[in-house]
Structure 1
Amino acid sequence: MSMSTPTPYAPSPELSAHADAMITNASAAELQMAARAYTAYGSVTGGRSAVTGAELPTFDACKPLVRAGWLATVRELTAALVLATPVAE
């Protein structure tokens, strides 16, 4: 039985444009936190993709869609932490 090679993923132009806009409009602090989260992921996987085993590039060398994904993760976690923080009375 032969295995076929999967077709490489190519995001839609709209998705790529949205990722570019997210990165462009992000603050320096948000991008630093996204890079930190990405680095933490790599520290658990030995600097390799847990899916393919390929060596992970630096955060800045990642494609915009990957950086935007980590940025979205940081934004979501930040919002969740804010909601979980008790309000002082």
Structure 2
Amino acid sequence: MTEHRRALMLLALCGVLWSTGGVLIKLVDWSPGAIWSARSAFAALLLYSVRRPSFRGIQRAEWGAAIAIAATTGLFILAN
């Protein structure tokens, strides 16, 4: 499998997982805060395990983007 094809497949998988988030949130009997915390912790652990060396070079703007995405996710969860 070529790298381009693999990237397209991973992007499609990402889209499927992202779009099922709302449905899965409805199926879990947790508080919005617990769901938000669990999703954030899972994402942080996954990203850290995959990109560990590059975490040292994260710039201030990238931290801002990460916080904005976390806030958006939290608001999405609270809305559902």
TM range (shorter): 0.3 to 0.5
When you count helix as a share of all residues, which structure comes out higher?
2
Which structure carries more relative contact order (alpha carbon 8 Å, separation 6+)?
2
* TM-score with structure 1 setting the length: 0.30
- Structure label with greater radius of gyration: 1
